[in-house]
Amino acid sequence: MAFEGLADRLQGTIKKITGKGKVSEQDVKEMTREVRLALLEADVNFKVVKDLIKRIKERAIGQDVLEGLNPGQQVIKVVKEELTDLMGGEQSKIAVANKPPTVIMMVGLQGAGKTTTTGKLANNLRKNYNRNPMLVAADVYRPAAINQLETLGKQLDMPVFSQGTDANPVDIAKQAIEQAKEDHRDYVIIDTAGRLHVDEGLMDELQQIKDTVNPDEIFLVVDAMTGQDAVNVAESFDDQLDISGVVLTKLDGDTRGGAALSIKAVTGKPIKFAGMGEKLDQLEAFHPDRMASRILGMGDVLSLIEKAETQVDEKKAKEMEQKMRDMSFTFEDFLEQMSQVRNMGPLDEIMNMMPGANKMKGMKNMQLDEKQIDHVEAIIQSMTKEERVDPNIMNASRKKRIAKGSGTSVAQVNRLLKQFNEMKKMMKQMMGGKKGKKKGGLNLPFM
Amino acid sequence: MGFFQKLKDKISNQTDQVTDKFKDGMSKTRDSFTSKVNDLVARYRKVDEEFFEDLEEVLISADVGVETVMTLIEELEMEVKRRNIQEPEAVKEVISEKLVDIYYDDDDESIETLNLNEDGLSVILTVGVNGVGKTTTIGKLAHRLKQEGKSVLLAAGDTFRAGAIDQLDVWGERTGIDVIKHNEGSDPAAVIYDGIQAAKSRDVDVLICDTAGRLQNKVNLMNELAKVKKVISREIDGAPHETLLVLDATTGQNALSQAKTFKDATDVSGIVLTKLDGTARGGIVLAIRHELDIPVKFVGLGEQVEDLQPFDAHQFVYGLFGDLIKNDSHE
C-alpha cells in the first residue's frame, strides 16, 4: 500500500540494465510494466494508460542511450516527454470578447469547487488584468449556494447578481448579462449548480444557458482527486457543451492527480488553472510539466538537472566549491547561492524533485517555510559588507542593528550565525571527503 | 448452493423497497460495469491469460485499485484452476464471490449499523475533505434518524466555508430539526461544545456535528479536528459514538489516503459513500475495508432527503452484477 513513486519502482529494473549501450525490447517491457502500474495508481484512466504505453514502447526500443544518462533514465526521459506532450503547453489565457462583457460559464459535478473557483477567478481577473467582473449565482438547487457566492462577493467587494432560488437559471443568466452591460462590467462569471453528467434534465439546462448567453469560455471544474470516472465526466460535459478549458481543483492535496492526464487525453481541451488552497488568491496557472512529474511520482531528476543547468553558472559553482573547501565561504556567497536555488522554483517543489528526499527521516512532514528564508535573506542583507565576509566581528550592538534593519530579533540573528558556522564546518567535512562523523546531516539555516 | 443463489436469498430477505432504491440508484454504475463484464465474457471462448488481463482492466476502471486488483486476480486464477472452470460465463460468479470476500474478510457478513447509545445522548461527528457532501449527508441522516423516532440536533461546526452554516440551516428547516450555530469564522470546537450542552439540556437522542472540509495533508487542520473530537470525548463518556468519514465515490486512489489520515486523527468508525448515483463505482471502499477495516455504513444515491441508504456489501455487489444474476436464474 506504500505510495511508491515511479523512481522507487524503477530502481531495481534500472540497476539491472545500467551500463548497456542500447535499450533492448526486454528492458522496455520491464520498465513499461512499472510505468503502467504507476500511472494506474495515480488514477490515470486505464485506456489512456494503454495508448500511452504503446507509444512509449515504440519510441523507446532500440534508441541509442544518450551521453550522461543510463538506459533506465533514458526510458524515463521518453515517458516524461510523452506525458508532457500529452499534457500540452501552458495555457492560462482567458478569452476577451470583442464586445464586453466577456461571459464565462462554470460547470461541473457537485463538490468539485465551482463556487470557490468562481470567486478565485474573479479575483485573478481583477488583480492580474485589472478587470471588473460580476458574479452570477445561477445555482438555485444546492441549499445556500447563493449565500456562499454572496459571501465570497462581499469578501472580494464585487457585485453578485442573484434572483433567489425560485428563478430559472436560464433567466438569471440572461438578465445578469443585461445588468452587467448597464453597470459596465467587463466580465460575467456564471456559477452553475453541480450536476451529474448523466442527469439529462440538468445537462439540458446548461445547454439552454449556453445557447442564451453565448459564453466566451466554458470552464469544466474538476476535482484533482477524481478516479477512473474522470474520462466519463469530461467526455460528457465536453460532448454536450464543447467546453473551452478545465480548472483542476484541490491540487494542494496529496493526490497524484492522474485525472488531469485522462481529461486532457479524452477532451483535448487545455487545463488552464489549478486550485491550490482555500484562500481566494490561491488559483494558479496550470503547469503541465510539473503535473507530469507529479503523476509519475518520480523524483524528477531530469528536470532538476535541466533547471540547475540553466540557473547555475558552472564557473561560479567551481569557485563556490573551492570556497567551501577552504572555509572562506561567506555570507555573501551564501546569499548568492540561496538566490540561485530559489530561482529554480519553490523550495518544496525542488525537494519533491530530489529522489529519495521524501524518504529521508523527518523530511516527509517537513513543511518548508518560504517566509523563514525571507527572514534569513533580510538578516544577511542588513549586514555590512565587512560583517558578511567576517562574521567574527559581530558584537551585541551590531546584532541589534541587524535585527532592527531586518525586522527580526537578536535571537534570530544569533541562530543564523550559529547555524552558518555549523554549516561551514559541515561543508568542510563533506568536501574533504573524509568519512567518519555523519552526525545530524546538513542543517541549512532555512530548514 | 451457488453464490448467486446465496446472494439472491440474502437480498430477498431485505424489504423490496430498500433493494429497489439501491438498485435504481446504482443503475448507472451497474449498466457500465455489467455490460463490460458481459462484453468480456462474450468475447472469450476460454478462460486464459488474456481474459484475466481484460478482467483486470474492468476492475481497475471501477477504482478498485491496482494492489487489490492484483490480489483478486491472483486468487481468481487459483480458484478457476481449482474448480477447473473453462467457461468464461462461469467465472462471473466467482468474481462476485471474491469481491464480497475481499470486503468482509473473515468478518460476520452483516449490515453494519450506527453505533448509538441506546439510553442517552449519542454524538455523531462527520469528517472528510472538501466537497464530498458532508452537509448534505447530515441533512439526510438527520431525516432518517427522525423517521426512526429519534430526537435530533445539529451543530454547525463548519465555520470556515462561506455559506456552510446557511446550508445546514436550510437542511434543518427542511427536516424540522434545530441547528446550533455561531458566526462564520468562530471556533468550531466552541460551536460543538455548545451543541453538546444544548443536546444535554434538551435531552435529545442524537447530536450530529458538521465540520469544515479539509484536505488530509493539512497538518494544522487535522490537528484542529483532533481537538474537536477531544472536546466531545471530554464532555461525554464514550463519545463520539460514531465518527463518519464522508467519501466521494468519484474519488480515485486518494480515498485510501483520506481514510488512513482521518482514521489516525479522529479514529473513524464508518464511511458514508456519496454520489454513487453517477457512473463512478466507488470500488476503493473494498480496499479501504480490506486494508483499514473501516466499514461503509451508508451510501448517498441522490439529492433527495430519502436518498441515503444503509450499505450492504451483498447489495453493493448485487448492484454491480444485478443483471448477471437475472441471466443466471433463467438457466
Q: What is the CATH number of the domain that holds A348?
A: 1.10.260.30
d(CA B286, nearest CA chain A) in Å: 14
Residue A253 near chain B (CB below 8 Å): yes
Say if residue A286 is in the same domain as residue A167: yes
Residue B2 near chain A (CB below 8 Å): no
Say if residue A349 is in the same domain as residue A403: yes
In a domain, A380, yes or no: yes
Answer whether A37 sits within 8 Å of B66, measured CB to CB.
Answer: yes
Q: How many domains does chain A have?
A: 3
pLDDT in tens, chain B (331 residues): 466 666 666 655 555 555 566 666 666 666 666 666 666 666 666 777 777 887 788 788 888 888 888 888 888 888 888 888 887 777 777 887 888 888 887 666 677 789 998 889 999 999 999 999 999 999 999 999 999 999 999 999 999 999 999 999 999 999 999 999 999 999 999 999 999 999 999 999 999 999 999 999 999 999 999 999 999 999 999 999 999 999 999 999 999 999 999 999 999 999 999 998 888 888 888 889 888 999 999 999 988 899 998 888 877 776 555 444 444 433 3
- Domain of residue A61 covers 4-86
Residues of chain A in contact with residue B130, where contact means CB-CB under 8 angstroms, are 111, 113, 250, 278
CA angle A207, A213, A219 (to 5 degrees): 65
Answer whether B281 sits within 8 Å of A229, measured CB to CB.
Answer: yes
Dihedral sign of CA atoms A199, A202, A205, A207 in order? negative
Say if residue A61 is in the same domain as residue A107: no
CATH number at residue A68: 1.20.120.140
In a domain, A422, yes or no: yes
From A53, A86, A119, the end of a domain falls on A86
- Neighbouring-strand partners of residue A271: A246
Phi, psi for residue A440 in degrees, rounded to 5:
80, -35
In a domain, A446, yes or no: no
Cis-peptide into B240, omega within 30 deg: yes
Residue A141 near chain B (CB below 8 Å): yes
Say if residue A226 is in the same domain as residue A142: yes
Tell me which residues of chain A, numbers 317 to 376, contact chain B at a CB-CB cutoff of 8 Å. Answer: 365, 367
In a domain, A439, yes or no: no
Long-range contacts of A319-323 (CB under 8 A, 24+ apart): A321/A431
> What span, in angstroms and rounded, lies between the C-alpha atoms of B255 and B262?
10
In a domain, A13, yes or no: yes
> What span, in angstroms and rounded, lies between the C-alpha atoms of A152 and A387?
49
Q: What is the dihedral of CA B66, B292, B159, B218, to 10 degrees?
A: -60
Strand duo A160-161 + A133-138: pairing: parallel
| A112 has a pLDDT exceeding 70 | yes
Residue A405 annotated as part of some ligand binding site: no
| Contact criterion met (CB below 8 Å) for A112 and A137 | no
Residue A66 has what DSSP assignment?
A: P
Say if residue A119 is in the same domain as residue A61: no
Cis-peptide into A100, omega within 30 deg: no
ipTM of the complex: 0.86
Nearest CA in chain A to B54: A46
Distances (CA, A) of B157 to B146, B168, B191, B205: 21, 10, 6, 19
From A298, A332, A352, the end of a domain falls on A298
> What span, in angstroms and rounded, lies between the C-alpha atoms of A105 and A127?
20
Residue B214 annotated as part of some ligand binding site: yes
| Contact criterion met (CB below 8 Å) for A324 and A267 | no
In a domain, A441, yes or no: no
Distances (CA, A) of A346 to A148, A339, A351, A446, B269: 32, 11, 9, 13, 38
CA angle A300, A301, A306 (to 5 degrees): 105
List the single best residue of A228, A251, A254, A266 to mutate versus B (max B Cβ within 10 A): A228
Say if residue A331 is in the same domain as residue A290: no
- The residues near B106 (Cβ < 8 Å, ≥ 6 apart) are none
How confident is the model over B171-192, as pLDDT tens digits? 999 999 999 999 999 999 999 9
Answer whether B129 sits within 8 Å of A225, measured CB to CB.
Answer: yes
In a domain, A435, yes or no: no
Nearest CA in chain B to A50: B57
- The beta-carbon neighbor of B162 closest among A113, A152, A198 is A152
Neighbour-count burial of A19, counting CB atoms closer than 10 A to its CB (0-12 exposed, 13-18 middle, 19+ buried)? exposed
Say if residue A328 is in the same domain as residue A278: no
pLDDT average, residue stretch A24-50: 86
How confident is the model over A144-192, as pLDDT tens digits? 999 999 999 999 999 999 999 999 999 999 999 999 999 999 999 999 9
The three three-digit cell numbers of residue B270, written as one number: 464508518
d(CA A422, nearest CA chain B) in Å: 30
Say if residue A80 is in the same domain as residue A142: no
Tell me which residues of chain B, numbers 18 to 37, contact chain A at a CB-CB cutoff of 8 Å. Answer: 28, 32
Say if residue A279 is in the same domain as residue A342: no
Beta strands in A63-122 (DSSP E): 102-108
Residue A251 annotated as part of some ligand binding site: yes
> What span, in angstroms and rounded, lies between the C-alpha atoms of A73 and A60?
11
Residue A51 near chain B (CB below 8 Å): no
Say if residue A114 is in the same domain as residue A238: yes
In a domain, A94, yes or no: no
- Residue type at position A439: K
Say if residue A133 is in the same domain as residue A271: yes
Phi, psi for residue B185 in degrees, rounded to 5:
90, -5
Say if residue A231 is in the same domain as residue A268: yes
